[in-house]
């Protein structure tokens, strides 16, 4: 045994040093793994008093819901509601509140003055609503479930969705619940795996439900035409099912390509366009992630008839064009590149360029040609949003950075430690408030331009 390996083994054996997978290889050695402290969560919630009546007013007093879906209203990582601050103080953004949180990798959706997420708390998955102004817990809805996976981590993954006064939350083991956003009352529930004869994925159900035209679109990955399922938004009754593909991890999107409104879905073997109200297959394009993995990153819309697919594990990225062809559609590859490998992060598109993490290094590509403009700055396996012409990068180590979105070079304007430890959860923004969380802590920062 090499001396260095022996030293590490002894440290792990006798000092409490631990191994934590943070997305890359080799794993990180740490004395403090990023795991939830359920005792701290319970103490914190017990200390929280009832919200003042002034903050429990009718939802109509709040601005129209904006950040209602995973990665924003169009699921594209863009925040366009209001301008954001682009000259961050050296000490970091102003912190509005901070508190412990349960485990898992979901993000937030924000509406009616509340922020909603799904967490692991001991042996239960918990959908929780927090007062946006104070962070105080408003309500919870829970059920017995505990997905565990040693490399990817424990707990639920899929970000809930808000629509018309309701929350649609999907647990790691397939429990789908429709809840009232005001008080968390269960309206209906289904287990999408049992319902569709599907097996869970290696890293669990991760695709956020999509609400379109009174339907709740989910991706159980069942055989016999039950890969994609649409439930009635009001009742939970099945509206339609489609495909027989094993599922992937990315979330369905409502897009318009080649002049046609459609669902953009990525499965284990292909990207497809589906009819919104019947799931009819409009087109397909092969997409297989290497090393027996499946797609995680969201597709990135590049124009009226183009989108980007990207994956890690040595796969790279590909720009795809969808065109009307006779009575149907055809697809073709515009370019391919190994210069952008989104492992489990998603890129953003801005003014002709694509910005994202090539594994753990921030990268800019020309969307027309795939040419790499720059690659610079390690941010771990974090997440990227675009706001006011800038990239807000929540790094894999919990640091928040502000980078100018320009093809000239990487211009990082600010960086500060926002959260402790491994951070894979996407940030969320609404009303000038930036929400971040990981499996240990959640925090809210003022990012408004005032």
pLDDT tens, 237-262?
999 999 999 999 999 999 999 999 99
Do residues 351 and 314 share a domain? yes
Do residues 4 and 87 share a domain? no
Do residues 20 and 144 share a domain? no
The domain in which residue 2 lies consists of 1-33
Q: How many CA atoms lie within 13 A of 365 on its CB side?
A: 29
What mean pLDDT comes out for the span 350-375? 98
Do residues 144 and 276 share a domain? yes
Taking the C-alpha atoms of residue 208 and residue 174, their distance in angstroms, rounded to an integer, is: 11
Do residues 29 and 86 share a domain? no
Do residues 427 and 324 share a domain? yes
User: Radius of gyration (Cα) for the chain, nearest Å?
Assistant: 21
Do residues 21 and 140 share a domain? no
For the chain, what is the domain count? 2
Do residues 83 and 140 share a domain? yes
Phi, psi of 77, rounded to the nearest 5 degrees: 75, 15
The predicted pLDDT at position 31 comes to 86
Do residues 81 and 201 share a domain? yes
Do residues 58 and 22 share a domain? no
The predicted pLDDT at position 32 comes to 86
Beta strands (DSSP E) in 338-409 are: 348-350, 353-358, 361-366, 372-378, 383-387, 390-394, 399-404
Residues present in the chain in total = 450
**Sheet hosting strand 433-437, strand order edge to edge:** 94-100, 441-446, 433-437, 428-430
DSSP run (H or E) holding 42: helix 38-47
Phi, psi of 411, rounded to the nearest 5 degrees: -115, 95
What is the SS3 assignment for 441? strand
The pTM score is 0.96
Do residues 7 and 83 share a domain? no
Q: Among candidates 427, 201, 426, which has minimal Cα distance to 295?
A: 201
Each residue of 379-420: pLDDT tens digit?
Answer: 999 999 999 999 999 999 999 999 999 999 999 999 999 999
Where residue 142 falls among pLDDT bands split at 50, 70, 90? very high
286 bridge partner residues: 270
The predicted pLDDT at position 19 comes to 84
What's the whole-number average pLDDT of the chain? Answer: 95
Do residues 12 and 161 share a domain? no
DSSP run (H or E) holding 424: none
Q: Among candidates 149, 160, 147, which has minimal Cα distance to 118?
A: 160
Taking the C-alpha atoms of residue 110 and residue 120, their distance in angstroms, rounded to an integer, is: 19
Domain at 120, CATH number: 2.140.10.10
Each residue of 306-316: pLDDT tens digit?
Answer: 999 999 999 99
| CB burial of residue 67 (10 Å; 0-12, 13-18, 19+) | buried
Each residue of 414-444: pLDDT tens digit?
Answer: 999 999 999 999 999 999 999 999 999 999 9
Q: Among candidates 212, 129, 204, 217, which has minimal Cα distance to 171?
A: 204
Q: Is 131 left (phi over 0), alpha (psi -120 to 50) or beta?
A: beta
């Amino acid at each position: 045994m090499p001396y260095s390996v022996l030293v590490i083994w002894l440290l792990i054996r006798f000092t409490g040093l631990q191994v934590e997978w943070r997305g890359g290889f080799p794993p990180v050695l740490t004395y403090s793994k990023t795991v939830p402290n359920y005792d701290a969560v319970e103490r914190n919630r017990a200390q929280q008093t009832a919200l003042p009546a002034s903050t429990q007013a009718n939802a109509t007093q709040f601005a129209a819901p904006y950040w209602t879906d995973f990665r924003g209203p169009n699921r594209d990582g863009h925040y366009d509601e209001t301008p954001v601050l682009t000259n961050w103080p050296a000490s970091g953004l102003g912190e509005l509140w901070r508190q412990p949180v349960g485990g898992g990798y979901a993000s937030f959706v924000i509406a009616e003055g509340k922020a909603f997420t799904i967490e692991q708390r001991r042996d239960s998955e918990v959908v929780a609503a927090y007062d946006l102004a104070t962070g105080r817990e408003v309500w919870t809805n829970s059920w017995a479930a505990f997905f565990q996976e040693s490399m990817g981590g424990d707990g639920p993954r899929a970000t809930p969705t808000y629509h018309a006064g309701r929350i649609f939350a999907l647990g790691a083991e397939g429990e789908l619940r429709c809840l009232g956003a005001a008080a968390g009352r269960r309206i209906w529930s289904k287990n999408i795996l049992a319902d569709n004869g599907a097996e869970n994925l290696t890293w669990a159900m991760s695709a956020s439900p999509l609400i379109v035209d009174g339907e709740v679109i989910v991706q159980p990955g069942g055989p016999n035409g039950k890969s994609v399922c649409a439930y009635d938004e009001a009742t939970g009754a099945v509206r339609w099912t489609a495909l027989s593909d094993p599922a992937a991890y990315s979330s369905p999107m409502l897009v318009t390509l080649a002049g046609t409104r459609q669902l953009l879905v990525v499965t284990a073997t292909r990207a497809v366009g589906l009819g919104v109200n019947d799931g009819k297959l409009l087109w397909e394009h092969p997409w297989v992630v290497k090393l027996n993995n499946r797609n995680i990153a969201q597709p990135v819309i590049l124009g009226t008839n183009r989108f980007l697919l990207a994956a890690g594990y040595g796969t790279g990225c590909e720009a795809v064009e969808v065109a009307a062809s006779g009575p149907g559609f055809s697809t073709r590859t515009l370019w391919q590149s190994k210069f952008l490998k989104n492992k489990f992060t998603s890129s953003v598109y801005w003014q002709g360029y694509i910005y994202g993490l090539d594994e753990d290094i921030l990268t800019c590509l020309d969307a027309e040609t795939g040419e790499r403009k720059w690659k610079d700055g390690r941010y771990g396996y974090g997440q990227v949003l675009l706001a006011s012409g800038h990239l807000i990068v929540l790094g894999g180590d919990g640091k928040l950075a502000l980078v100018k979105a320009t093809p000239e070079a990487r211009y990082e304007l600010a960086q500060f430690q926002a959260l402790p430890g491994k951070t894979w959860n996407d940030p969320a923004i609404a009303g000038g408030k930036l929400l971040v969380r990981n499996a240990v802590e959640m925090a809210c920062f003022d990012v408004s331009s005032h």
